[in-house]
Amino acid sequence: MKIILLGAPGAGKGTQAEKISDTLGIPQISTGNIIREALKSGSEVGLQAKSYIESGKLVPDEVVIDIIKDRIAKEDCANGFILDGFPRTIAQAEALDKMGIIIDKVLDIDVPDAVIASRLSGRRVCESCGSSYHLEFKKPAVDGVCDKCGGTLIQRKDDHPATVADRLKVYHEQTEPLKEYYKKTGKLYTVEGQDSVEDTTIRTLRAIAE
């Protein structure tokens, strides 16, 4: 099963990708997490991406496409994968098609802009493993500590309100047209993502099983 998760920043792509990954036993591939790891390690890709990611702009297509090519060639992707945050432009979707990847489902997690701001201001992520939490909607067992690895929970630099507004603008201009792109393939499913994490997971898994 090869799945794409579409949706605005903070719509819950990463949260649902984790659940799908646990349920179907296929890896979650988050370009955002891969880029943040590259930033932390000070690699060439990290240096190329730094100014874009911190200001909420998209990293250039060629950089992200190379990241995806390398990642999906790995053995753990043989039975499928969940793309979380890729593609994000028409050029990236076309590159995926050119790689000969046949996508089974494209799930668009639909959350209005008004809800996004509170989602992102309350989000905390693990600085070690990247797992995502929320101060109100998805609390860790111990405040400030990751349930999975015991790492410290921090706020992402691009979750500050001014950058969130820029990310939403970029989303509407460059990523939203992908809905029409995938609608034409008959593989687009819309999942209402405004309710609790658990209700959204039920809807997401139902759309996959359809």
How far, in Å, are 27, 50, 113, 149, 206 from residue 83 at the CA level? 9, 21, 22, 23, 18
* Residue nearer to ligand AP5 on the CB measure, 186 or 208: 208
Question: What 3-state DSSP class applies to 99?
Answer: coil
- Residue 123 is among the residues annotated as catalytic for this protein: yes
Residues in the chain: 210
For position 58 contacting ligand AP5 by CB under 6 A, the verdict is yes
Stretch that binds ligand AP5, among 29-37, 69-77, 95-103, 177-185 (CB under 6 A): 29-37
The single residue of 123, 124, 138, 203 carrying the catalytic annotation is 123
Q: Where are the alpha helices (DSSP H) in the chain?
A: 13-24, 31-41, 44-55, 61-72, 90-98, 113-121, 161-170, 177-183, 197-209
- Residue 74 is among the residues annotated as catalytic for this protein: no
For position 123 contacting ligand AP5 by CB under 6 A, the verdict is yes
Residue from 6, 19, 56, 204 touching ligand AP5 (CB under 6 A): that is: 56
Residue from 38, 45, 64, 96 touching ligand AP5 (CB under 6 A): that is: 64
Q: Please count the other Cβ atoms lying within 10 Å of the Cβ belonging to residue 159.
A: 21
**Are 84 and 196 a contacting pair, CB within 8 Å?**
no
- Residue 119 is among the residues annotated as catalytic for this protein: no
Which residues are identified as catalytic? 13, 88, 123, 156, 167
Residues of this chain that interact with ligand AP5 (CB under 6 A) are: 7, 9-15, 30-32, 35, 52-53, 56-59, 64, 85-86, 88, 92, 119, 122-123, 132-134, 137-138, 158, 167, 193, 195-197, 200
